[in-house]
A and B are shown apart, each in its own frame.
Chain A
Amino acid sequence: MTYGVTGMLRQWFHLKGWRKSIISIPYIWLVAFFLVPFIIVIGMSLGVRTSTSPPIGFAAEWPYVTLENYGRLFGDSLYVRAYLISIYNAAIATALCLLLGYPMALCIARSNRSWRNILLMLIILPFWTSFLLRVYAWMGLMGSNSWFNKDLTAFVNLFLPASQAFKFIPMMNTNFAVVLVLVYSYLPFMILPLYANLENLDGTLNEAAMDLGSRPYQVFKDITLPLSMPGVIAGGLLVFIPASGELIIPTLVGSAADPMIGRVISDEFSAARNWPMASAVAVALLVMLVLPMMVYSYFEARAQAGQDGKP
């Protein structure tokens, strides 16, 4: 068998450098279908809109490219507003995910082994079901005549005088709905890295601090929380980055008057057919996402170097 097809393959790889093909196949693929498209987007963002198909071209005389689209980006309050709303929604959702996800992750990490796997499974299970359907599930709950909205309205009305009582709570197509569904959809992304971090913490440190007379909240504040910061940052990035570029959630439950930036890109591209503008908005969004990550990894590398330098 070894001298059959597999043998020939082995021979070929051995002679022609299988090592090279292992590197070059994924390399060529990613350059062709990821890097080149992205360069096309950058190029398009410097072009002008035309009435041809595809609706894009370049200026007729030197320097052929224009920064007009980027000028509009900062000049038109629609775009600035959309960026700000995206950052705001993503930041609030990240903070809420942390507030709810941290105690959940801590509780799972402190459960005994057999419980831990079941609880983790229950966290991951919604992640395997369709993202779209999870957003849809909230559309059913938030509608003005759903049981959830009715119960919530009754609850809120308990605290209000009868004259100001709500008939229903207007939840659909608001920024509140966007943040709520963002938290719902991205909560597992916060819990999993936090759990991975908290599970590996040395429990004896906590016991030592308790033995030395620390109160539980002091132990948490002085030991558990500082040691879990890598998990907090990893979870925060995993929630914040996809949340700020989200398209499905703002389209289904968000308000059309205050769109998030993902929806603006999609609308510019498909509805307005202004490809250069959509490209410019996309490039700016990416810069906005990548810059804080680069600053973070720069400081982390410096801190690492500083620690290694110590005797």
Chain B
Amino acid sequence: MNRRPLFLMSCLCFGFAFLYVPILSMMFFSFNKSRLATVWGGFSFQWYGKLFANDQIIKATVLSLKIALTSATFATIIGTMAGIALARFRVFRGRTLFTGLVTAPLIMPEVITGISSLMLFIMMAEWIGWPGSRGFTTITIAHITFSMTYVTTIVQSRLSSMDVSIEEAAMDLGSKPWQVLTDVTLPIIFPAILSGWLLAFTISLDDVVITSFTTGPGNTTLPILIWSKVRLGVTPDINALATVIVMVVAVGVALAGYILHRSEKRREKDIQMAIAANT
């Protein structure tokens, strides 16, 4: 029997066209000679040249990368802790509130998270005089808060699908709980932690709404810069910038996929060799 009938295949093709045509069209028009972003006027690389000569864009990119690296790292550390607490510590005081606090940022509309963070920073400045101005620190704190819960979700689900008997075996062999965590649990869930970090990194790098509320004058991240330009309409230099970003992301994702695939294969091979050696 044909498991993929014509109807399903055509829906899939239509869906992929729907997903990719806008992006491809945007990339195509980045090579447009004309100032009008949507009317073809001949082939040109001029917008790319202007892009790389633009200090503002370079500065914003550097700031975005700094914030994303810092916030993803802290979000991964704190988020992993929360994931371990939820998956391994069955009972502790305030667990219900903790579970709520971990899931709430996932459903909170970004505009509300943004406004509430800004209000917090303003109130703190009134009461304790910190933060004096908004910028790198405030953006990073807000990003950590909402991306750590994604890390927690990933780590928690990996831990609950993991075989507890390995940890129990280590305990039986005399490991302290803390040793079990560092020597057994963390290495096993490392791929989950890594994908949590990647997700936190991209969320931070991509964020517009929360950043726009928690940033101050002079601290423009790349998405905020794009946001302020895009609100004025479609321009070919944004098309060029978008093309560069899409290409970087596509290459990055393909590379990460390739590395993951290879390490998986190597692990399978190791396991098979271990089995073969034991029989």
Contact = CB atoms under 8 A, between A and B. Distances in A.
A136 B234 contact: yes
Nearest to A262: B111
A230 interface: no
Nearest to B12: A107
B250 interface: yes
A130 B12 contact: no
B109 A242 contact: yes
B223 A132 contact: yes
Contacts of A285: 109, 112
Contact of B206 (A26, A123, A130, A143): A130
Contacts of A106: 8
Interface string A232-253: 0000000001101111100110
Contact of B19 (A14, A41, A123): A123
A252 B89 contact: no
B126 A54 contact: yes
Q: How many A residues are at the interface, by size bracket?
A: 35 or more
Contact of B242 (A107, A128, A136, A265): A136
Contact of A275 (B105, B112, B119, B246): B119
Contacts of A46: none
B111 A282 contact: yes
A36 B117 CA distance: 9
Contacts of A110: 3-4, 8
A100 interface: yes
B249 A136 contact: no
Contact of B230 (A37, A119, A136): A136
Contacts of A245: 109-112
Interface in A252-282: 252, 262, 265-266, 269, 275, 278-279, 282
Contact of B1 (A108, A121, A129, A210): A210
A107 B4 contact: yes
Name the residue among A104, A241, A266, A269 with the largest chain B CB count within 10 angstroms: A104
A246 B3 CA distance: 38
Interface stretch (B50-58, B166-174, B176-184): B176-184
B62 interface: no
A179 B206 CA distance: 22
Interface in B146-185: 148, 152, 176-179, 181-182
B135 interface: no
B106 to A, nearest CB: 9
A130 B39 contact: no
B114 to A, nearest CB: 8
Interface in A154-195: 184, 187
A35 B101 contact: yes
Contacts of B42: none
A211 to B, nearest CB: 11
Given A34-B105, A40-B119, A187 B209 contact: no
A25 B76 CA distance: 13
B101 A31 contact: yes
Nearest to B142: A33
B37 interface: yes
Interface stretch (A57-65, A71-79, A286-294, A298-306): A286-294
Contact of B239 (A19, A37, A140): A140
A23 B144 CA distance: 17
Contacts of A36: 120
Contacts of B38: 140, 143, 145-147
Contacts of A139: 230, 233-234
B45 interface: no
Interface string B9-50: 101101110111111011001000000111100000000000
B179 A10 contact: yes
Nearest to A144: B38
Interface string A25-57: 111011101111110110010000000001000
A133 B122 contact: no
Interface in A105-143: 106-108, 110-111, 119, 121-126, 128-141, 143
Given A27-B98, A133-B226, A143-B234, A111 B19 contact: no
Nearest to A33: B145
B115 interface: yes
B11 A107 contact: yes
Given A30-B145, A111-B4, A265 B115 contact: yes
Contacts of A19: 89, 177
Interface in B67-89: 78-79, 81-82, 84-85, 89
Contact of A148 (B23, B25, B145, B177): B25
A35 B79 CA distance: 16
Contacts of A244: 109
Q: Which 7 A-B pairs have the closest CB atoms?
A: A245-B109, A37-B116, A103-B11, A26-B82, A137-B22, A107-B8, A37-B120
Given A14-B178, A54-B119, A145-B36, 20 more contacts: A10-B182, A18-B177, A26-B79, A26-B152, A29-B78, A33-B120, A33-B142, A33-B145, A36-B120, A124-B253, A128-B202, A129-B245, A130-B249, A140-B29, A145-B38, A146-B38, A247-B110, A251-B231, A252-B231, A293-B107
10 contacts: A30-B98, A41-B119, A107-B11, A143-B234, A184-B18, A187-B19, A275-B119, A282-B116, A286-B108, A290-B107
